[in-house]
Structure 1
Amino acid sequence: MTILDMLDWDADRDDGRPGSPWFNGLADSLGRRQVEWLAEVGGVERLDDGPSWVLLSWIEAAATQVVRTRSRSMLDTAVFGMSLLTKSDLDWRDVSLVGSLVRRGALLAGLPYEASVTDVCARAGELGELAAPRLMRMDAATTPTHVESGAGERFAFERLPPDFDVDELERWLEGESG
């Protein structure tokens, strides 16, 4: 079993929300085993799309947890996860939407986002060097894809439903629409 196996997530077993066993286990691993993560991710040419999307989803949930806990370590862990995504083929616009939630979460929690990026990226070596300029440019506003709801322990960044028919778009993309 490799460290990247931590990104195997089964939605039928765990909802992936903050506080769930999978969420907490990945948070602990990303926070405590950074050398191993850097070695393994640094050793692959590209992170596969599946694990990349799972990591991005975890970071999205972590943005909510940053606000709920006001934890610098949770912020640092989310920023570290973002640095790993420099090895993915994900469209950086998608990554930026989630990155903006992390920055917004830090702002709402009163945490030093820029200091976190500087510290984490300095420890993340080559991946950190690639990630730092991108992370520093993240917007601190809630993205148009999400809304903020609740307060304290009930705070959440909630994803808005798309304003288009997903099934119709898929049919169109597959050339089935006339």
Structure 2
Amino acid sequence: MSEEPGESREPCIVRAADGWTGESDDGSRWKRLGRLAGGDRLGCTLEELLPGHDPLPYHYHTANEEALYVLDGRGALRTPAGEFDVGAGDYVSFPVGEAGAHTVENASDVPLRYLAVSTMTEPDVVVYPDEGTLCVNAGAAPGRPRGEFTLRRSFSLSDGTDV
């Protein structure tokens, strides 16, 4: 949703009552706030993880910076520097590249709610070091529906074969 410079528009307000935009098999759910509000270059997702779950494997982006702001609950954050407890009010930034590798898990007995914020640059390559794979995304930024990608392929880091 691009606007001409200087062109004004009504703000697109996403309300709590608007409901969730997705749910995983484990019952964790998310709302793509940035997309719902008409954002192009900045993504923001409200995520709610049930106890014992994590949304994504340990990963980093080669084109997109990410950040996490915890709203409620407690989580276990893993980065290249180690593991850290995070809780309500904590903010963490994940730069582009290996230094920004991360995953967060809900290690508590109550839901963990946080905002995941990211730039929406494409193409992007997402690397999953623990799994030994990478995923090339083109045509849409990470976090967009799969149908919007013109290219989305995963490869083995060890031999380059499709996975």
- Compute the TM-score of the two structures, normalised by the length of structure 1: 0.30
Structure with the largest fraction of helix: 1
More strand by share: 2
